[in-house]
Structure 1
Amino acid sequence: MSYVILGRAIKSEYLAIGTLATAVGVGLLSTGGKKEAAPPSSGKSAIETVKETVKFNAGSSEEEQLMDSIKKFIDDAEKEAKH
């Protein structure tokens, strides 16, 4: 079977091949490109880096107590995980 496109008869096999080639080409072009370099590691784990960068600023004494209890809970959980 063939289709008439722009006044020319094109076989369905060629249309199928063109469709597959276009899909593969778009996929390759979208996944390619320049890769971002990973930031240099200073020897610290990701958890330690996050702990240093994320600071909690408490607005009241209740918030400060809550943050202290959360930090204590996390420290205890990390100690248990190391054993």
Structure 2
Amino acid sequence: MSYVIFGRAIKTEYLTLGTLFATGLLAYSSMGGRKASPTGKTMSERVNEAAPIKAASKEEEELMDSIKHFVAEAEKEGGGSSHH
């Protein structure tokens, strides 16, 4: 069986192969590669700059400090970068 596209008969096998190739190429190009941080800052530093958190009470401040300490320790153990 074939389809007529732009006045030419094209077999379904070629349409199938073209679709699979285009899908694979699209998936491959969307994966990209590892992209270095443009500023050289860690993820937590960029997040802190983008959305600073202000504590409303002493308990919240202690909680935020413990979370920041936990994240800093995790970055030290992981080498300071995420692996995607």
- TM-score, structure 2 normalization: 0.48
Higher RCO by CA contacts (8 Å cutoff, separation 6 or greater)? 2
